Amino acid sequence: MTETAPRPTLEEVAALAGVSRATVSRVVNGGDGVRERLAERVRRAVDELGYVPNQAARSLVTKRHDAVAVVIAEPETRVFADPFFAVQLRGISKELTAHDSQLVLLLTEGREDHTRVGRYLAGGHVDGALVFSLHLDDPLPGLVRRAGLPTVFGGRPGWGGGTDGTGDAVYVDSDNRGGAREAVRHLVGLGRTRIAHIAGALDQTSGVDRLEGFRDVMGESEPGLVVEGDFTPAGGERAMRELLARHPDVDAVFAANDLTAAGALRVLRETGRRVPDDVALVGFDDMLPVAEQTDPPLTTVRQDIEEMGRLMARLLLRTLDGDGDGDGDGAGGALDGTPAGMVLPTTLVRRASA
Amino acid sequence: MTETAPRPTLEEVAALAGVSRATVSRVVNGGDGVRERLAERVRRAVDELGYVPNQAARSLVTKRHDAVAVVIAEPETRVFADPFFAVQLRGISKELTAHDSQLVLLLTEGREDHTRVGRYLAGGHVDGALVFSLHLDDPLPGLVRRAGLPTVFGGRPGWGGGTDGTGDAVYVDSDNRGGAREAVRHLVGLGRTRIAHIAGALDQTSGVDRLEGFRDVMGESEPGLVVEGDFTPAGGERAMRELLARHPDVDAVFAANDLTAAGALRVLRETGRRVPDDVALVGFDDMLPVAEQTDPPLTTVRQDIEEMGRLMARLLLRTLDGDGDGDGDGAGGALDGTPAGMVLPTTLVRRASA
């Protein structure tokens, strides 16, 4: 262990600055009512001694920790394997850094750890939470609600009709359903007639919404042309094999994300099918470098993942800095108890695969 | 924002359990001196109401947060791009989860954010810290020391002769120098005579130690055969081009890690060199799937990265649970003020590239 160096005390700062303890305390806790000349002397003494205010004591006064928790409801193996999370975290991190707020990522091994996460959230260590990748029946929204923390969700929660604690949640999402419709209409426009969908995980709203978009265009005929994947390349391979076994004549596939499409592409090549000549393929995300480096590069539905992260952080910080929703109740949140979502548009990016 | 549900209070728990507030408080804070029958009644009431003890107040009594910070001194873009960190975090996460301690990952956009990290560490939010990927002149060890937190470092710190706060640090490392020696001796044993080294980042001890191992075998002749990389594939490509420009007759390369080797391999293929026939190539890490999926698969020096993570966490938890170093001073840490390292062995894994 690092031997503990004696920590400079408030008294030492006061002595060096030639002011009272109370003055130092006021400056450290926001500087109200201290003349600028004195405050400057205190700040210089703080710097010189490397004084670190006792945050626990300070936050009793300011009620702020200058830290925001990010909770991703996935095992960390998936968090690190899927670039989606890295890009969203980059957006969050940039925004929090600009506001001198510390990003605290709470990692979980599995869902059984969510109680412990709830305990940490309730423990007075962070000012608010950003929660994403929720699954059906996830205990997290309830835990976050009980912790009493301002929260912004990434992706539409929408499970359980609000009884799970997300009924009046603020969230940031992409237009998953509209983007999926555009992808499928593009395949129809190419003259394809046997169009299949490899869905994402259907215990997540992003998976459900993209499937709904597919059905908006294709209707409910031929349910065999829909196979559930799980947003991973391995899931895409498995689903593609299943699809080809059932429908060897498939001539187009809309995959729920680019990683799924990359897995499907491997199986199409293995079975001697040319893309796009025999089977046209569209992904979702425009995840780089994945979408550009497949052979052929992927036609896909672009969503601005980094911007989603920034926006989540911005909405949360705005609430922490005051009343975020303008309804004057000081609580943030939606006006009427219904979910308040910011839904970002998507765009179809055409490359060689469809 | 999620509307804040009224949080169940201590009073409500006491009323439901039919005991006094003081009894509830004692049970919640460890249960000393409360009869088991009563304690059980309180615990049932806590569960039923979903009561979350005020952690800040509780930790004033127990002095424990049941949380450990992990600080990686790299921008998050690198943390997510290099599987090394994911694997080490997996080891840490498993060990902490087994001890019901929350993993709190503090992400930084850049080095200038380390002051904010130090503030969070000093703020009474975690019991200890695991710090890895330190760079030369990194302010982190000093900040951690000042925060007064028990700390275990990943990788030998060893900069600044201890004046940076790492003088008596406990750390977990691999035998980087010994592993590098084994790699280079293997290349010598294959009859190679123009053996080059693409070093890692030389502001990190892992980079320096692997270079030292190379020099132990090759001596200091032909300094042009050493080019500095940065542990990334792009750095490996750049270094390999530089090396070939200077020494087109190179017949073996020891790369500082597998990602560097993968980058070097691309350039060797591009320039029409066969591996291993024309140029033998050895990596470091045995990072899967990278090392197995290159063409040809990599001969490499294996280090057990997940076990390093587990061991770091175990050493820290042992210190938190009592006096970790057995010297009876209750402080943890080395006996004599010198760095106390646990150095794990490495093994050469032979595949097709050398």
All domains of chain B, ordered by start, with CATH?
A: 10-62 (1.10.260.40), 67-174+306-345 (3.40.50.2300), 176-304 (3.40.50.2300)
A147 vs B52, B119, B141: nearest CB: B52
Kindly provide the residue ranges of all beta strands, DSSP E only, lying in A23-169, ordered along the sequence: 67-72, 102-107, 128-132, 151-154
> A245 pLDDT exceeds 80?
yes
Chain B residue numbers with beta carbons less than 8 Å from the beta carbon of A131 are none
Q: What is the DSSP letter of B329?
A: S
Chain B residue numbers with beta carbons less than 8 Å from the beta carbon of A290 are none
Q: Rounded to whole angstroms, how far apart are CA atoms A134 and A141?
A: 8
A3 touches chain B (CB under 8 A): yes
Please state the ipTM of this predicted complex.
Answer: 0.72
Q: Which residues pair with A129 in a beta bridge?
A: A69, A151
pLDDT digits (tens, 9 = 90+) for A259-270: 999 999 999 999
Q: Which residue has the higher pLDDT, B314 or A10?
A: B314
Window A:148-177, CB contacts with B under 8 Å: 148-152, 165-166, 168-170
Contact pairs from chain A to chain B, CB under 8 Å: 194
How close A133 gets to chain B, by Cα (Å)? 17
pLDDT digits (tens, 9 = 90+) for B54-92: 554 555 455 688 999 999 988 877 888 888 998 999 999
> A168 pLDDT exceeds 70?
no
Reduced to 3 states (helix: H, G, I; strand: E, B; else coil), residue A70 is strand
The predicted structure's pLDDT at residue A22: 81
Q: Which residue has the higher pLDDT, B236 or A338?
A: B236
Q: Which two tokens stand for residue A79?
A: 């968090």
Burial class of residue A331 (count of CB atoms within 10 Å of its CB; 0-12, 13-18, 19+): middle
Instruction: Give chain B's end-to-end CA distance (angstroms, integer).
Output: 58
Place of tokens 């049970």: B27
Q: How many CB atoms lie within 10 A of CB A279?
A: 25
Q: Rounded to whole angstroms, how far apart are CA atoms A173 and A345?
A: 9
B245 touches chain A (CB under 8 A): no
The predicted structure's pLDDT at residue B334: 40
The predicted structure's pLDDT at residue A73: 85
Q: Which residue has the higher pLDDT, A169 or A249?
A: A249
The predicted structure's pLDDT at residue A164: 52
Taking the CA atoms of residue A45, residue A51, residue A55 and residue A56 in that order, the dihedral angle to the nearest 10 degrees is -110
Describe the strand order of the beta sheet including A252-255 as a list of residue ranges: A226-228, A195-199, A252-255, A280-285, A299-302, A347-349
HSE-CB of A27 using CA atoms within 13 angstroms:
26
Name the phi and psi angles at A89, rounded to 5: -65, -35
Least confident of A83-87, A253-257, B78-82: B78-82
Q: Which residue has the higher pLDDT, A313 or A163?
A: A313
Describe the strand order of the beta sheet including B128-132 as a list of residue ranges: A340-344, A170-174, A151-154, A128-132, A67-72, A102-107, B102-107, B67-72, B128-132, B151-154, B170-174, B340-344
Residues present in chain A in total: 354
Q: How many CB atoms lie within 10 A of CB A57?
A: 14
The predicted structure's pLDDT at residue A333: 44
- By CA distance, what is A340's nearest residue in B? B1
The predicted structure's pLDDT at residue B75: 80
Query: If you average pLDDT over residues A73-88, what whole number do you get?
Result: 85
Given a contact cutoff of 8 angstroms between Cβ atoms, the answer to whether B75 and B113 are in contact is no
Q: Rounded to whole angstroms, how far apart are CA atoms A328 and A7?
A: 43
Query: If you average pLDDT over residues A226-234, what whole number do you get?
Result: 96
pLDDT digits (tens, 9 = 90+) for B160-195: 444 555 556 789 999 999 999 999 999 999 999 999
Q: Which of B104, B101, B109 is nearest to B79 (CA)?
A: B109
Q: Rounded to whole angstroms, how far apart are CA atoms A15 and A88?
A: 46
Q: Which of A304, A316, A340, A341 is nearest to A90 (CA)?
A: A304
Residues 6 or more apart whose Cβ sits within 8 Å of residue B100: A116, B66
Q: Which residues of chain B have pLDDT under 70?
A: 1-7, 29-32, 52-63, 158-168, 323-339
Q: Rounded to whole angstroms, how far apart are CA atoms A68 and A90?
A: 14
> A58 pLDDT exceeds 70?
no
Window A:265-284, CB contacts with B under 8 Å: none
Q: What is the DSSP letter of B68?
A: E
